[in-house]
Amino acid sequence: MPTELKKGDPCPSCGGTLEPYRILTPEEYRQIYDRDSPRPLPLGTDSAAPAVVQEHGQLFVCARCQYRTRFETDESKRAGTSRAA
């Protein structure tokens, strides 16, 4: 039976470190996805919409194998909406 992955655990695939991707602020999200003047997404930044991050949690990526998972944010814990691992 698989155990639940928690923030701070090693990567379940290779044992590497799961590092958090930066979350865009609502203003940055609007600027990046502006049709008239889009900006490039900075490397190491989660491209998910703020509502997705709130519901599913912050993106963490393994530095070695690129395994991806989401963990609850403080905001999603308070709201009780996260379905993250």
Q: What is the pLDDT of residue 2?
A: 63
Q: What is the pLDDT of residue 73?
A: 75
Q: What is the pLDDT of residue 33?
A: 87
Cα–Cα distances in Å, from 30 out to 15, 25, 43, 54, 58? 36, 9, 17, 16, 18
Residue ranges per domain, the chain?
A: 18-79
Cβ count within 10 A of residue 82: 20
Q: Which tokens sit at 66? A: 């690129």
Q: What is the pLDDT of residue 68?
A: 96
- pLDDT bin (cut points 50, 70, 90) of residue 80 is low
What's the number of CA atoms in the CB half-sphere (13 Å) around residue 72? Answer: 13
